[in-house]
Amino acid sequence: MNASESDELKRRLKEGEYLEVRTTGGTYEVWAEIYGNPPAVFYEGEMLPIAELDAVVGKLLAARSAGEASLRWVEMD
C-alpha cells in the first residue's frame, strides 16, 4: 500500500467525494460525512465512526491489491 495513495483516498472522502467499490459480490459506494452528527464513514452499508476511516481505506486498498475489488471515483453532476 502506498502512503500517498492512502492519504489521497482519505482526503477525497473527507472532501465529500464518493468512491465506487466493485467486487465479485456486487457494487457499493463509500463516503464520509465529517460534518455529520456524529461524523461517520459509510462502508459496506454500515455507518462507522469517522475514526475508522484509516481502517476502511486500508481494507479498500488491500482488497484492490489482492484483486478482490476495483475502485473508482463517482462523478457527480
Give the residue extent of every domain in the chain. Answer: 3-72
Q: Count other Cβ atoms within 10 Å, centred on residue 17.
A: 16
> What average pLDDT does this structure show over 1-26?
92
- Residue 49, sorted as left (phi over 0), alpha (psi -120 to 50) or beta, turns out to be beta
Q: Quick one: DSSP state of residue 51?
A: G
Mean pLDDT of the chain: 94
> What average pLDDT does this structure show over 31-38?
96
Residue 46: pLDDT band with limits 50, 70, 90: very high
35: which 3 cell numbers? 460534518
Residue 75: pLDDT band with limits 50, 70, 90: confident
Residue-level length of the chain = 77
> What average pLDDT does this structure show over 40-55?
96
Query: Are 71 and 21 in contact, with CB atoms under 8 Å apart?
Result: yes
> What average pLDDT does this structure show over 47-72?
97
pTM of the model: 0.90
